[in-house]
Structure 1
Amino acid sequence: MKGSDILKHVDHTLLSPTATWPQIEELCEEALIYHTASICIPPSYVSRVHETFGASINICTVIGFPLGADTTEAKVWAAKQAVKNGASEIDAVVNLGDVKNGDFDKITEEIASLKKAVGKHILKIIIETCYLEDEEKIALCHAVTDGGADYIKTSTGFGSAGASHADVVLMRANVSKDVKVKAAGGIRTISDMKQYLSEGCDRLGCSAAVRLLKDKTDIEV
């Protein structure tokens, strides 16, 4: 596997609350040079990126981030606004209070509402695995499948831990074949990226991928 093969699965990410426009612009330029799957940025920068780079860059943004505790109505409005501003992909955080209350029907309904809001655009649901028991993760796999989301995603990167290989294997085994898996949070080595892809991930959310792979795009890693 060449470095370029990994980078095409990477959502090149900058979600720091203090991210500046020059940093976002640099992220975009790197994504264009190294052909990452997308950039993942705060909603406040979506419109400016779209105006600056147009259709040349695939924009992903986050909704209900990082806590997921917004109402469904607020998440739906934010998702629609993000798409209107130029986002093609939406990463929305599940309501962890609903998870701990065991209200998976409500979660499924929220996911369905979000998918309806974004339409043909990609919806990824972040379940924040670090706070969950395996039974809750499995129930969320079913909710994501039944709600019609395109991806299930491990983590925000702002929780107590990020992605784990065990969680990716569990998620891949419990979502339908139509739902893809994204690992995110704490992915800092090439070997980790390769292993996540081999375990069935279609996307990787990380900020370090370009730095690690930019000199290795044409060689086996």
Structure 2
Amino acid sequence: MSATGWNPAVADRRAAAVVPALLFAVLTALVAARFGPLMRLDAAVSGAARRFTPAHPAWHATMSAITHTGDTNVLLSLAAVALIVLLLRQHRTGVVFLLLTVTATSAVRIAVMLLVHRPRPVDRLTATSGFAYPSGHTTSSAIAAGIVIVLGWTLLSSRRSRFALAAVAGTWALLVGISRVALLAHWPSDVVGGWLLACATTAAAALTLMGKRSSPRYSTGL
């Protein structure tokens, strides 16, 4: 830490939580206000997906397969497996991190969804329920990817394996979000909102539990 008490590493970690949180707040306000330019951009992208996806069966099938990897039953099963592994490893910090991240994100997403109550696009190409903003599949898959990346970073010793895990998990979360737009389940801003919310809550939970530790390989005990 410098003589002024400012630590660049800690500042970077805080920015990782604060910046997406602020962007999410701004985007949420624009969506709630039905901001004209944003609504027109959403409509234009969704219209392009409406024309493209049904006309290309292979793309439609691929997007459908990807989107179902973000279904609630799939992610809950993965979360249960991860929780069991962490408990068996006596990784108490990891258990708390997983539960805190999932719980906090779900609470925020549901509250915002009910507050904004945005309708979904018409002529949807996959089964949906509830309001549109922010996208549930997108948020949940991004949270899952974030948890995997954060915990994987602490459990893996190889730098190469860490980055490979981050690339795979991040790409999957990105594709799930894209699939929601391609299948007309969500407007593009619903997906961006989901990504921002997931980044903010994951980073905030990691900072809360690990922010006082100087090393990324934090202790397994609280």
Pairwise same-fold verdict (TM > 0.5): no
Higher relative contact order (CA 8 A, sep 6+): 2
Bigger strand share: 1
Normalized against structure 1, the TM-score is what? 0.27
TM-score (norm 2): 0.27
